[in-house]
Structure 1
Amino acid sequence: MTEHAADAVDAQATAAHLKERLYATITMISVVIGLEASGHVDAVGAAATVVTASVGLWLASLVADQQAHRVTHGAFARGRELRAMLFVSSPLLLAAVGPLVLIGISALGAMGLHTALLTAAGVNVATLFAWGCYGGIRMGGGAAFALLAGAIDAAIGTAVAVVKAASGH
């Protein structure tokens, strides 16, 4: 593989990794708002739900990627291809870290679970804003464009939270 081709593959994997990170962030907003809205969960139950959602999405992504690879290439992904799948899907696990830390802080009594879950959602919306701004800057559109891109991403995350809260589950 030429250096240019390797750079293109690396850029493609990085783009897919970021896409999964954004997807996982939006999904985690939905999970923590759903937990907060339920009102019937303790810290252990909230942590279990966050871990289950994160691991479940990660496994589903790996199964789908592996199946797509088998259909396309007629064989299981191994070696570099499997490592690329794991790299791309890792944000589905990493998205749980922030909420789990906040739930843990809640379990230690430093804040209420309600506050921890809302804070986790807020941090995830802020993360979407930051990624949107970064993308706007990378596109060369200037500060106003970057802020607009960040605001759009944050609005999507906020809309997910509002819809989830309004639905009551």
Structure 2
Amino acid sequence: MVALSETAHPEHLESALTVAVTALGVWLATLVADEQAHRALTGRGATLREVRAALYVSSPLLLSAVGPLVLIGVSALGVLELQAALLLSAAVAAATLFVWGWRTGLRMGNGPLSAVVSGLVDTLIGVSVIAVKLLVGH
């Protein structure tokens, strides 16, 4: 989204397709990697139950496209500039990483401080990815 926002003249449809296809591609790559790791570890293919579990666990990768797609749609309606919508999407994605990290930190049962640290670490990783993208370009 940051790279799209730096495009000279981004278009709404192109931006929406880029976000959707990227999320789908990352999700599919994750499923393939999960299956390969499963076969390497167990020596067999995943059962239907294990495939369903992998689909459930990886679903946030698809959900990550919803916010940006909504903001791109809002931009297409003229409420805000596309570049602003894309940058806001990146900020929302980073905030979402904090929420996911915090939530999983709580589920680990180590207490609220540990959950906040988990959220901050996830956010730092996300912001680092954004920084690398900005530093090396598209």
Please report the TM-score for the alignment, with normalisation by the length of structure 2.
Answer: 0.81
Cα distance change, pair 67–131 in 1 and its aligned pair in 2 (3 A): closer
Aligned to 2:87: 118
Whether the aligned pair in 2 keeps the contact of 1:65 and 1:85 (CA below 8 Å) is yes
In structure 2, what residue type is equivalent to 1:95?
S
Q: Partner amino acid for 2:2?
A: I
Shift in Å, 1:132: 3.8
1:140 aligns with 2:119: no
Determine the C-alpha separation between the residues in 2 that align with 1:69 and 1:152: 27
Q: CA RMSD in A?
A: 2.4
Q: Which residue matches 1:166?
A: 135
Partner of 1:60: 29
Q: CA deviation at 1:159?
A: 2.5
In 2, the alpha carbon distance for the partners of 1:86 and 1:94 equals: 12
Is the Cα–Cα contact under 8 Å of residues 71 and 89 in structure 2 kept in the other structure?
A: yes
Shift of 1:69: 3.4
Q: Among 52, 56, 74, which residue is 1:83 paired with?
A: 52
Matched, 1:40 2:6: no
Select the structure of larger CA radius of gyration. Answer: 1
Q: 1:150 to 1:41 in 2, by over 3 A?
A: same
Question: 2-side partners of 1:43 and 1:83: how far apart?
Answer: 34
Residue of structure 1 equivalent to 2:78: 109
Cα gap change, 1:129/1:85 in structure 2, threshold over 3 Å: closer, same or farther?
closer
Residues 1:128 and 2:97 are matched in the alignment: yes
Unaligned residue ranges in structure 1 (runs of 5+): 1-31
- Counterpart Cα distance in 2 of 1:148 and 1:67: 31
- More divergent stretch after superposition (122-131 vs 63-72): 63-72
Structure with more contact order per residue of length (Cα contacts < 8 Å, sep ≥ 6) = 1
Which one-letter code corresponds to 1:40 in the other structure? H
Assess, with a 3 A threshold, how the Cα gap between structure 1 residues 77 and 155 changes in structure 2: closer, same or farther. closer
Q: Show structure 2 runs of 5+ residues with no match.
A: none
Among residues 18, 37, 55, which one is paired with 1:49 in the alignment? Answer: 18
Which residue number corresponds to residue 100 of structure 1?
Answer: 69
Percentage identity across paired residues of the two chains: 50
Q: Determine helix, strand or coil for the equivalent of 2:10.
A: coil
Contact 1:37 1:168 in 2 (8 A): no
